[in-house]
Structure 1
Amino acid sequence: MPDSIESLVRDLTSDDRAVRTAAQDALVALGPVAVEHVLPLLDDRRASGGDSEGIAFFRRASHSTVPHLQEIRRRGPGSLRRPALRALLEVGGEDGLDSRDRQVIERLVRIKLLSEKQDRVTLPRETRWLAFPADELEGAVGALGLHDLRPATSVMGVAATTVAKDSIETEAPDGRRVDAFRVFITPEFKGWRLVYGDSFLDAVGGPELAEKISERCGEGHFYNIDTYHNANVWWIARKGRVVRGHSTYADSEWVGDPLPFELTYIEADADDPFLDPDLVERYSEGVTDPDMVALKLSVEPGRMRPAAMRGHGWLATTHPAVPNRLFQGALPI
């Protein structure tokens, strides 16, 4: 390896951010020449927990590195074939893969889906999600305007919609710039399916989407647990309208009348020595905790038991011209 490239690659792991940035700028300028030297760094995570310097390099170098990465996938060296596949996914998503590599990924997903039925699936709870009756999958897909549904493991779907970049700007038929989003629909758990998609829920609005789902499916829920801002939000929509909701910092904290399960908490006896007075006061108008509401009315995310799971999850997008294969990033399977 030329000394100049060797020195630059070594600088990518420096503790000094300015040194790392300068090295990355120089390597990006070199383009394909640096590919084989940077590939081994793909799994070196930054101390802050962010992407590795190797991933950052390939995202910046972008399509100039694709032909060389594809050549490594075909001819080796063998030790670099796996990181080359990941780099291709980071640069251009599955659209940058040849047909053989796409088939490899599809086969691996099918195999993992079989084993997922024997393993505990973990669904995140400190985020936002929708819920709808599991037997109304087709109605929910129509209500949310989803396209390009493809089978996905839960770890893959959650990463795609809560960790990886889950939006792409594209052009509408009338020339306007619009955002397309990626969405994950979970397997069925206790008669319900959940929908994850941080950017989609933020852009369109969770309560609005819950109402849309309820128009087609009879019922739709939105839950949001924001521990950073100490905020709790939940909305229950039935037959096209919100019947009950809570939002910690809204001008009107409560919407609708208390649901039957809330009455137990509202009517708690403040003089009962076995009850925490602070909790009695907290629930005096209704239940504020989204996870408690989900537990009572649909399904609470967390570590889900295999016995409670049916079917598999689906990745989808919100725009017909933006299929899943265009989203950048290597996903865990």
Structure 2
Amino acid sequence: MPEAIDTLVRDLSARDRTVRRTAEDTLVALGAQGVDQLLPYLRDGQPKRVRRDVESLFNRLGDEALPRLREIRREGPGQLRGKALEMLVNLGGADALDEADRRAVERLVRIKLLEELPVEVPMEAGRWLAFPADRLDDAVAALGLHDLRPVTTVMGVAAATQAADSLQFQDSRGETQTAYRVFITPEFENWRAKGQIKNWRMLWGNSFLDELDGFRLARVLSGRCSEAHFYVLDPYNSAENWYVARDGHVVRSYGTYDDPRFEGEPLPFEVWYMEEADEDEAEEYAEGVPDTFTAADNLSVHPGPMLAEHTHGHGWLATTHPDVPNSRFKGALPV
């Protein structure tokens, strides 16, 4: 059997489409019998294409693989336990784990939180909300968040931007609803910010911000927290946005493709840039500051490396529906 499975796994990368499909169907038909032989192909030393093919197989197996994966977690073999845990979470979320594994993961997160400083929020692209750090409870209430759980920054960013961050479910009335998962960062100090507020948190969640409109959410958040910002970096479309809301209303915004690009009166930090612009910069700053990172740096906080002395507390994962806890979301997360 192991030799036959090795051959079938090799056939997953065959040039012939029929050979590939036959190999995949045969491996899926083995069901739980093939779990022990397939797990080693997920190890880091394996070629990326092989790992991807075998992960796809496990996704097709779905719930059928869960009982055997749980057995491996309890009884071994030991060299398969780590990948069995990862696949359990990939296929069924933390809900697929037994109580011992759930406690072990929570304990690992607590240990990692003690040593995670300094942290880094990736800055290549993205969109995020920013709100005053001392208004966390207000932000949670304004956005209707539930099941807050402490997480490391690397875990939170992955959950909100790479893993499944939305899922559909049937509510108590049998209607289809969508729940989202978001990450709230630790508290970051920014003493360069020109306003009175120096400590800020970011909220990340691609599906949440895209589907529920980050601009609207900034207004809702500012109505409860006095001020909130929404930022967008979209290098693929060469687009940027920054948006400042206070007490439920937009006061200033910029969008690369908005018409007009600026809305509202220039803010104090923009006035400084406009007045200090030299001959080469005069056109760039004629109407205000068109750069999202510059705006965020002067207004609140932007992604990137955060100094340990400017970082306080830890991040939180949260969901947007009381009936859908974080444990329902599928996908193993780095800790």
Same fold judged by TM-score > 0.5?
Answer: yes
Cα deviations by residue, 1:143-172 (Å, 9 ceiling, x for unpaired)? 111000000000000000111111000123
- Tell me if the contact between 2:228 and 2:246 (Cα under 8 Å) persists in the aligned partners: yes
Unaligned runs of 5+ in 2: 190-198
Secondary structure of the equivalent of 1:228?
helix
Within-5 A mapping of 1:1-333: 1-12=1-12, 14=13, 16=15, 18=17, 20-43=20-43, 44=46, 46=48, 52-117=52-117, 120-125=118-123, 126-190=125-189, 191-268=199-276, 271=279, 277=280, 279-333=281-335
Larger displacement relative to structure 2 (300-309 or 53-62) = 53-62
- Aligned residue type for 2:313: G
- Tell me if the contact between 1:267 and 1:284 (Cα under 8 Å) persists in the aligned partners: no
CA distance in 2, matches of 1:307, 1:37: 48
Structure 1 residue 41: Cα displacement: 1.7
- Aligned residue type for 1:332: P
CA distance in 2, matches of 1:179, 1:36: 35
CA distance in 2, matches of 1:249, 1:116: 38
Cα deviations by residue, 1:115-144 (Å, 9 ceiling, x for unpaired)? 013xx2110221000000000000000111
Structure 1 residues 253 and 171: CA distance shift in structure 2, 3 A: farther
CA distance in 2, matches of 1:248, 1:174: 43
Structure 1 residue 325: Cα displacement: 0.4
Structure 1 residues 15 and 128: CA distance shift in structure 2, 3 A: farther
Cα deviations by residue, 1:225-248 (Å, 9 ceiling, x for unpaired)? 000000001100111111001111
- Tell me if the contact between 1:55 and 1:90 (Cα under 8 Å) persists in the aligned partners: no
Q: Report the RMSD for the aligned CA atoms in angstroms.
A: 1.8
- Tell me if the contact between 2:277 and 2:285 (Cα under 8 Å) persists in the aligned partners: no
Cα deviations by residue, 1:150-209 (Å, 9 ceiling, x for unpaired)? 000000000001111110001234443221110000000011110000000001111111
Cα deviations by residue, 1:4-55 (Å, 9 ceiling, x for unpaired)? 322112234x3648355543332122211111111012244635xx972222
- Tell me if the contact between 1:109 and 1:152 (Cα under 8 Å) persists in the aligned partners: yes
Structure 1 residue 267: Cα displacement: 3.3
CA distance in 2, matches of 1:227, 1:177: 34
- Aligned residue type for 1:169: Q
- Tell me if the contact between 2:159 and 2:181 (Cα under 8 Å) persists in the aligned partners: yes
Secondary structure of the equivalent of 1:280?
coil
Unaligned runs of 5+ in 1: 272-276
Structure 1 residue 265: Cα displacement: 2.5
- Aligned residue type for 2:188: F
- Tell me if the contact between 1:41 and 1:53 (Cα under 8 Å) persists in the aligned partners: no
- Aligned residue type for 2:235: T
Structure 1 residues 285 and 167: CA distance shift in structure 2, 3 A: same
CA distance in 2, matches of 1:258, 1:17: 61
CA distance in 1, matches of 2:260, 2:20: 49
- Tell me if the contact between 1:58 and 1:90 (Cα under 8 Å) persists in the aligned partners: no
Secondary structure of the equivalent of 1:116?
coil
CA distance in 2, matches of 1:133, 1:173: 35
Cα deviations by residue, 1:247-277 (Å, 9 ceiling, x for unpaired)? 1112332211110111122334554xxxxx2
Secondary structure of the equivalent of 1:236?
strand
Cα deviations by residue, 1:97-129 (Å, 9 ceiling, x for unpaired)? 100000110000000000013xx2110221000
- Tell me if the contact between 1:9 and 1:37 (Cα under 8 Å) persists in the aligned partners: no
- Aligned residue type for 1:258: P
Structure 1 residue 2: Cα displacement: 4.5
- Tell me if the contact between 1:146 and 1:317 (Cα under 8 Å) persists in the aligned partners: yes
Structure 1 residues 320 and 268: CA distance shift in structure 2, 3 A: same
Cα deviations by residue, 1:59-91 (Å, 9 ceiling, x for unpaired)? 221000111111111111111011101110111
Structure 1 residue 300: Cα displacement: 2.1
- Aligned residue type for 1:128: R
Percentage of identical aligned residues: 52
- With the length of structure 1 as denominator, give the TM-score of the two structures: 0.92
Secondary structure of the equivalent of 2:236?
coil
- Tell me if the contact between 2:2 and 2:37 (Cα under 8 Å) persists in the aligned partners: no
Larger displacement relative to structure 2 (182-191 or 14-23) = 14-23
- With the length of structure 2 as denominator, give the TM-score of the two structures: 0.91
CA distance in 2, matches of 1:103, 1:239: 41
